[in-house]
Each structure stands twice: as structure tokens, then as C-alpha cells.
A = this chain, B = another copy of it.
Amino acid sequence: MSQTANCDENLLAAAYLNRVAEPAAIALWLLVREHGYRQAAAMVRAAEVPPEVAACTEARRDTTDPHADLAAAERNGIRLLTPASPDWPHFALGAMDRLARRRCAEWLTGRRARAAAGELIPPLALWVRGNGQLASIGIRSISMVGSRSATAYGDLVASDFAYALARREVTVISGGAYGIDAAAHRGALAADGACVLVSAGGLDRPYPSGHAGLYDRTAEAGLLVSERPPGSAPQRQRFLSRNRLIAAFGTATLVVEAGLRSGALNTARHARDLGRPVLAVPGSITSAMSVGCHRLLQRDEQPAQLVTTVTEVLSYCGGEVALPDAAPRTLYDALDLAARTVLDAFPAAGTADPGQLSRLSGLPLEGVRDALAALQQLGLVAETAGGFRLDRAGLRGP
């Protein structure tokens, strides 16, 4: 069943509200919180809204066509998520939601400037494309960010770390740009790991256009995410609002290389505001691309954590797991001690009965019987008329 056929009024309302204002519109978010998607959309359309909502919606009030957006999305394999969707990233966005409520309360009571309150407003809806899922994002994920004009050092570190982290079941998130972003995506893809690309524009408009292939491969192995509807251009302000999603999706945010004015520092600030660890890779003091990282590490308040190894990064985004390589290579490695002892006690050829195996192994008869039952279940021994027979073929690794 296609999404447009299924699209209920809520989805249409979400698509409408998602386009009618630019992301992180504080007044619109408050309206939706109070009245829900359908009511809020109807109020905006009827221009029956407070002046602050009118100000951020009237330019597109009458031209926004959610049917067209949903149809364009369907043509491009893109679907729309709202907080009612099973795949909505509630876990990852929880911190932003709490922060937005607190900051809005401070703004409404005059204790905070509006601009400072509006920066970390949760998205009303998200467009996604690909096979990955978002529901558990943030539990074991890393946002890797950095300079577009990365050095060979930054590229190497980003792709190496992304590869090693993806191999350890950490979802790698980045923004799809040249430089550090691309290196991070490529490392995760090379590891066949989970990866998420958060785009500033519509998902049918890869940016930069040279990354169309990267977008396609990420959609296949992971997920593309954007707050903007299909067809949207990646405008400057959308990069800044996009960065808050990257910060929110990562269990931690890792800045690999950043110049003094890099957008990665904006992402790092969002992560800090959301209470997420900010990690930074040090580099040569002679490299302009490490100046931003060093500034983060030198902060008096809430400095970034200096990381030099994958193990250190892991300690901030979910911890170490056994690599496939470190897992049992053969079934034998996975057996308990009693089963191994019984297996080793089998004669080189022929059959044996439990009594013999007990004498040969030194295990009590009851222990031998339990071990034989387990070994039988695994297909390593078979019971025949003459007793138990070993099937060593089953022990070889895959």
C-alpha cells in the first residue's frame, strides 16, 4: 500500500506544516504542541493564528501543497515520518524536546531571548529514504563531523574511525558533505555498517551533486534523512538547522577536523546544549584544520574530550563489543568445559557409551549424559545402536 493512498489527514497536515515554515520555527512548534497537527494546519491555512505564527507561515500559506510533496516523495522512494510513526526517533529527540519546552517557558516568561530559545526546536516531521531505521538512533551512534576541506590526516582518521565503529555496531551519522563527512560515510559503508546521512535539502537533490552515488549507497545500506521536503534547495540556514539533527542523533558527537569557522563547531555546540558528549581529535598545531578541535578542547566550561583511539570513542557511544573476529571461530570454541572434555575423550574411531566416556574423561556419569545431550543437539555426536559416534565435520567453522 503506497503512502499517498494511505495518507491520512495527519500525514497531510504534517507535510503542510513541515513546508509552510522553515525548520525550527518556535511559534509554529508551540501551536502544534497545543492544538495537534490537523488543527494547527487548519488554523494556519485559515490565517487564524497568533501574529508570531502568521509571521513565519504567511509567505507560503496558500501555495504549500502537501499532496504534491507526498507524491514527489513517493516517486523518489521517500517517506514522511511524524511523531506518530513507529520509526520516529523519540529516543534521540527526547533531549531536544525537553530543552525546547524549558527554553520556551523561559522565553514566554521573559527570561530568555527568542532567538536563543528557538535554536533547538524539534522537527515537526522528517523525510527519510532507505532501508535503515531511526527508532533506536542515539542509543549506539556517533555523529562524525568536520571540515569540508579536510586534510589527508582528517580523511584518514574519519574513515578509519567510521569503519572501526561501524564494525562494532555503532551507527555512523554525518551530513553528506565533502571532506570529513564523506570520509565518515565511506568508512561506515566499507564496514557494511549502519549509517545515516542527514541532508540539508530535499532527499531527491543530493548535495553536493557529486555525492549522488554516496546518497544512493547510503539509502541502500542505511538511511537518508532530511527535514526539508523533496525539491528543497540546501540553503545556508537549512545547514544550520540540519546540524541540530546531527547533534541529536549521535550518542556522542566527534569533531575530526574543523577550521575556526567550521559548521562542525555549530554541531558541537548543539550536542553540548543537548547534554551529549563532544569528542575532538587533536592534530598538528600547524594545521588550520585542527584549530577548531583544539579550541573545543581548550574551553574553560565543558571542554570537549580528547580522543585518540576507537576504544576511547566507543566508551562515549555505547561501549566495546566483541568483533566478529573475536567471536568463536568454531563450534568447539563455544562449547562449555564439560562438553569439550567429553568430546576430547571420544576414541579416535568407532563408538563409545556413557560409561566409557565417564572413565576416559574423568567426569561423573550424569555430567557425561548432560554433555552428550547437548552435543547431540548441536549435531556433533549421534547415537547409534553401538553407542555414541562422533561427527567431527560439524566442528569445523563456517
Binding site for B on A (CB under 8 A): 153, 156-157, 281-286, 290-291, 294, 297-298, 305-306, 308-309, 312
CB of A106, distance to nearest CB on chain B (Å): 33
The 3 closest A-B pairs by CB, nearest first: A282-B282, A285-B308, A294-B308
Q: How far is the CA of A308 from the CA of B285 in the complex (A)?
A: 5
> A291-B308, A294-B306 given as contacts; is B284 within 8 A of A284 (CB)?
yes
How many Å lie between the Cα of A314 and that of B285 in the bound state? 16
State which of B156, B286, B297, B308 has its C-beta within 8 Å of the C-beta of A306.
B297
Q: Please give, as numbers and ranges, the residues of chain B lying within 8 Å of A305 by CB-CB distance.
A: 298
Distance, CA A291 to CA B156, complexed state (A): 18
Expressed in whole angstroms, the minimum distance between the Cβ of A268 and any Cβ of chain B is 16
Is the Cβ of A285 less than 8 Å from the Cβ of B282?
Answer: yes
Contacts of A298 in B (CB 8 A): 305-306, 308, 312
Give 30 pairs: A residue, B residue, CB < 8 Å, sorted on A: A153-B284, A153-B286, A156-B286, A157-B285, A157-B286, A281-B285, A282-B282, A282-B283, A282-B284, A282-B285, A282-B290, A282-B294, A282-B297, A282-B306, A283-B283, A283-B284, A283-B285, A284-B284, A285-B308, A285-B309, A291-B308, A294-B306, A294-B308, A297-B297, A297-B306, A298-B305, A298-B306, A298-B308, A298-B312, A306-B306
Residues on the B chain within 8 Å of A285, using CB: 157, 281-283, 308-309
| B residues less than 8 Å from A306 (CB atoms) | 282, 294, 297-298, 306
Residue of B nearest to A290 (CB): B282
CB nearest to A293 among chain B residues: B282
Query: Which residues on B sit within 8 Å (CB–CB) of A291?
Result: 308
- Complex-state Cα separation, A291 to B312, whole angstroms: 13
Q: How far is the CB of A156 from chain B (nearest CB, A)?
A: 7
Assembly of this chain: how many copies?
Answer: 2
Q: Which residues of B contact A294 (CB under 8 A)?
A: 282, 306, 308
- Per the bound structure, the CA–CA distance linking A286 and B281 in Å amounts to 11
Q: Please give, as numbers and ranges, the residues of chain B lying within 8 Å of A290 by CB-CB distance.
A: 282
In the complex, which of the residues A156, A285, A290, A298 has the most CB atoms of chain B within 10 Å of its own CB atom? A285
Instruction: Tell me the minimal C-beta distance from A160 to chain B in angstroms.
Output: 9
Q: Nearest Cβ in chain B — how far from A318, in angstroms?
A: 20
Determine the residue in chain B with the shortest Cβ distance to A308.
Answer: B285
Neighbouring B residues of A282 by C-beta, 8 Å: 282-285, 290, 294, 297, 306
Q: Give the distance to chain B from A377, nearest Cβ to Cβ, in Å.
A: 47
Cα A156 to Cα B298 in complex, Å, equals 22
Contacts of A284 in B (CB 8 A): 153, 282-284
> How far apart are the CA atoms of A283 and B157 in the complex, in Å?
13
Q: Closest CB of chain B to A190's CB: distance in Å?
A: 19
Closest to A297 in B: B306
Bound CA span A21–B283, Å: 45
CA distance in complex: A306, B283 (Å): 11
- Closest Cβ of chain B: how far from A297's Cβ, in Å? 5
CB distance from A154 to the nearest CB of B (A): 10
